[in-house]
Chain A
Amino acid sequence: MAGSGRDELAWVRRAQAGSASDFEALFRAHWGPAYRAAYLVVRDAAAAEDIAQEAFLAAVRALDRFDRRRPFGPWLHRIVVNRAIDWARARALRPEAPQVDGPAPEPPERDEQPLRELGRLSPEHRAVIVMRYVLEYTPGEIAELLELPRGTVNSRLRRGLDALKERLE
């Protein structure tokens, strides 16, 4: 779970000054939400790990220039979600061959339709749903982070949720 704004400000300040332990606190606080968001957009654990890791490496590179008056989380999530959308778009253009490894046992799972249906939405719709309901940003914050008009965010949320609801019913 991310720390309070005050904690975060102190972590950033001390990480800029060279405190590895404060940088680790910043990393640990933000890894989970970043990785989850990437995973739910790309639906590939290895890709999600790469995307979240790259975002943190970008954070390291930008650390000295980082404006402490800005919250760290939204800045990081913006990188993560944009990269995840790019990755998902690229993946859609070159789908991989289906896995072939012999007959599988009967699937012993519960209904996995919701996950499957989320994956069938466009990366853009997936991204706003993940930011709204996993990262818990408001539509206004999502608009700011993704540099989209507020109306576009609202319409993507509405269409994405309507599509999911329709397919799940």
Chain B
Amino acid sequence: MTFHAPGEREAEDRAWEVVRAAYEQREPVSWPRRHWQPLVAVAVVAAVVAAAFSPPGRSVVHSLREAVGVKQAEQGLFSLPATGQLLVTSREGAWLVHADGSKRLLGRYRDASLSPHGLFVAGTRANQLVVLDPQGNVRWTLARSAPRFPAWTGTRTDTRIAYLSGGRLRVVAGDGTGDHALRRAALVAPAWRPGPGRVLAYSDGREAVVVDADTGAVLRRLAPKPTKLAWSRDGRLLLVFSPSKTRVYDGRRVVAADDPSEATVDRDATFAGRNDIVAARAAGNGSSVFSLVSGRTFFRGTGVFDQLASSPDGGWLLVSWPTANQWVFVRLHPRKIVGVARITQQFGRSARIAGWCCG
């Protein structure tokens, strides 16, 4: 088994953006000048394995790799602890997991989102937005350049899908009609406000923007530059998350704030329980999941917690723990912990929770 350091994949994506920008800005040196540089060959010493080091080396490395994780974790996701369906994306594609643990690989989709009642899934692949039924059958497709982050809202009879393409926030009806660009947007998943009206939060790259999707009117601009946006179940509160600064707004008023110190970084935050807001924070070699409201710590472990997702009834929190290759389901009141191991083996590399809905 290959060892993966915590947060490796996400760090790779972040670093690639920085490194690519540096590469694109460089001015290549012309061919002749490049070859005036002294050519110094490096002789790589032939592989000499010091046998005396190997046995203890192997055992130590093995124990390092096996050191982290919930004790007695389930070896498979045999069932979900709460009702609903879990949507997961990974290098293998999008998976739909039912409460009884049965799961289906819907196809090779990069992002995915469940419709409001869990009847359909919107997925993205190279240059297509695709809507599927839960069996993976394609219902319609829309050709758009590199679509990302579909988000679905609406009623049983009238739905909208927001997504990003070509640097713009776009909206299309649930039947694939009426696709149109709304505004310029940064690569952050948009979030529909639950409840009546079609109100959407997105990032324009500088701040969070709340917009009326029907008219295009901007309703609010909120200060922090977000990497994640989420609404509370009642649509009253908006979470504007970034690793170094998180704010929760009720209208324009800040009702909760979190500013990790220099030595720490927040990996994710979400609404949970009735009115709680929980965050996953990495500090030094460990991480913790705690309430921004009460300060209560729900769970703590070595390495990095990558992602948080709340069950449809709000009673359980799913914590992804790539360091341990585990998911941990945490019941908030009274606290109970259920670990599920071998996530990579079950879903493929870079498994991410795309939604848990519709209990």
**Chain B residues positioned under 8 Å from A109 (CB to CB):** 68-71, 301-302, 324
The answer to the question of B7 belonging to the interface, with a C-beta cut-off of 8 Å to chain A, is: yes
Given A118-B64, A154-B50, A74:B44 Cβ within 8 A: yes
**Cβ-based interface call for B178 (8 A):** no
Please tell me if B28 contacts chain A, counting CB pairs below 8 Å: yes
A118 to B45, CA, bound (A): 27
Residues in B whose Cβ lies below 8 Å from that of A138: 45-49
Q: Are A104 and B45 in contact (CB under 8 A)?
A: no
Residues of A within 8 A of B43 (CB): 144
Residues of chain B lying within 8 A (CB to CB) of residue A31: 8, 12, 15-16
Bound CA span A24–B24, Å? 11
A48 (CB) vs chain B CBs: closest residue: B5
Q: Closest residue to A162 on the B side, CB-wise?
A: B56
Which of A48, A112, A132, A144 is close to B44, meaning CB atoms less than 8 Å apart? Answer: A144
- Are the C-beta atoms of B22 and A57 separated by less than 8 Å? yes
Among A18, A36, A43, the residue within 8 A (CB) of B8 is: A36
A16 touches B69 (CB 8 A): no
- Interface pair A35/B53, CB less than 8 Å apart: no
Q: Report yes or no: A20 in contact with B34, Cβ–Cβ below 8 A.
A: no
Does the CB pair A39–B6 fall under 8 Å? Answer: yes
Q: How far is the CB of A158 from chain B (nearest CB, A)?
A: 7
Chain B residues contacting A116 (CB-CB under 8 Å) are 285
Bound Cα distance from A47 to B263, whole angstroms? 10
B285 touches A101 (CB 8 A): no
A46 within 8 A of B: yes
**Main secondary structure on B side of the interface with A:** mixed
Q: How far is the CA of A61 from the CA of B22 in the complex (A)?
A: 8
Residues A105 and B64 in contact in the complex (CB < 8 Å), given A20-B20, A27-B19, A49-B11: no
Of chain B, the residue at the smallest CB distance from A52 is B15
Does B156 reach chain A (CB closer than 8 Å)?
Answer: no
Q: A52-B15, A63-B26, A134-B61 are in contact. Are A96 and B300 (CB under 8 A)?
A: no
Within 8 A of A (CB), among B2-47: 3-8, 11-12, 14-16, 18-20, 22-24, 26, 28-29, 34, 37, 39-47
B300 touching A65, Cβ below 8 Å: no
Q: Is B295 in contact with chain A by the CB < 8 A criterion?
A: yes
Is there an interface contact between A24 and B16, defined as CB atoms closer than 8 Å?
yes
Partner of B60 from A44, A107, A168 at Cβ < 8 Å: A168
Whether A64 contacts B28 in the complex (CB less than 8 A), given A32-B12, A48-B11, A157-B53, comes out as yes
- A64–B34 touching, CB < 8 Å: yes
Most B CB contacts (10 A, CB to CB) among A17, A103, A105, A107 go to A105
Cβ contacts under 8 Å, B1 to chain A:
none
B57 interfacial contact with A, CB 8 Å: yes
Given contact pairs A57-B18, A57-B19, A18 touches B28 in the complex (Cβ within 8 A): yes
Decide: B57 and A161 in contact? CB cutoff 8 A. Answer: yes
| A6 proximal to B (CB < 8 A) | no
Interface residues on A, range: 35 or more
Instruction: Scan residues 189-203 of chain B and give those whose CB is less than 8 A from a CB of chain A.
Output: none
Q: Is the CB of B7 within 8 A of A53?
A: no
The reply on A11 being an interface residue by CB < 8 A is: no
Whether B283 is near chain A, meaning CB under 8 Å from some CB there, is yes
Q: How many residues of B contact A (CB 8 A)?
A: 74
Question: Given A102-B296, A113-B67, A168-B60 in contact, is the A45-B49 Cβ separation under 8 Å?
Answer: no
Contacts of B29 in A (CB 8 A): 64-65
The docked-state distance in angstroms from the alpha carbon of A134 to that of B58 is: 10
B298 within 8 A of A: yes
One of B11, B28, B301 near A107 (C-beta < 8 A): B301
Min Cβ gap A95→B in Å is 10
The 8 A CB mask of B204-241 against A (1 = contact, 0 = none) is: 00000000000000000000000000000000000000
Contact of A44 among B4, B8, B12, B285 (CB under 8 A): B285
Assuming A20-B24, A101-B288, is B41 touching A45 (CB within 8 A)? Answer: no
Q: A60-B26, A134-B61 are in contact. Are A112 and B5 (CB under 8 A)?
A: no
| Chain B residues positioned under 8 Å from A144 (CB to CB) | 42-45
Docked complex Cα distance between A140 and B286 (Å): 34
Complex contact A112–B57 (CB within 8 A): no
Closest A-chain residue to B34, C-beta based? A64
Q: Are B48 and A165 in contact (CB under 8 A)?
A: no
Interface pair B50/A53, CB less than 8 Å apart:
no
Shortest C-beta distance, A80 to chain B (Å), equals 12
Q: Contacts A115-B64, A161-B56, A168-B63 known; A16 to B34 CB distance under 8 Å?
A: yes
Q: B359 to nearest A CB, angstroms? A: 26
User: Binary interface profile of B, 112-145, with partner A (CB < 8 Å = 1, else 0)?
Assistant: 0000000000000000000000000000000000
CB-defined A-B contacts under 8 Å, sample of 7: A45-B11, A70-B41, A116-B285, A139-B48, A144-B45, A154-B50, A165-B60
